Amino acid sequence: MFNIITRKTLLQYCQQYPEAANALKEWYYEMHNANFKNFNQLKQVYGNASLVSDDRVVFNIMGNKYRLVVRIVFDFKAIQIKWFGTHKEYDKTNVETVKFKKK
């Protein structure tokens, strides 16, 4: 079971991108209940997930229409939401340094 920091951030993205709200909530519940020990185990379930620097993982949401960037620390079962947006917005984003910003 993973601790997702913070659920409030995810809910703000749900409000900002209502079309993706159900997919984000589904991802949240799947990850919250997951028991991955490392990225390789996660990759077996989320085949399109990509590992980038600083333990960051990029997930495709809604068939790659959206991207979700998180930091996962497998040893502590912790996931920190870093960024969410459309694929077009993702192409303009440095996922290695991006941080959540309230709008």
15-66 confidence digits (pLDDT tens) = 999 999 999 999 999 999 999 999 999 999 999 999 998 799 999 999 989 9
Q: What is the pLDDT, as a whole number, of residue 45?
A: 96
Q: What is the pLDDT, as a whole number, of residue 102?
A: 64
Chain segment 59-77, per-residue pLDDT in tens:
999 998 999 999 999 999 9
CATH architecture type of domain 3-90 = 2-Layer Sandwich (3.30)
Per-residue pLDDT at 103 exceeds 70: no
pTM here is: 0.92
Q: What is the pLDDT, as a whole number, of residue 71?
A: 95
Q: What b-and-e string marks burial along 59-74, b requiring 16 or more CB atoms within 10 Å of the CB?
A: bbbbeeebbbbbbbee
For the chain, the helix, strand and coil percentages under 3-state DSSP, each to the nearest 5? 40, 30, 35
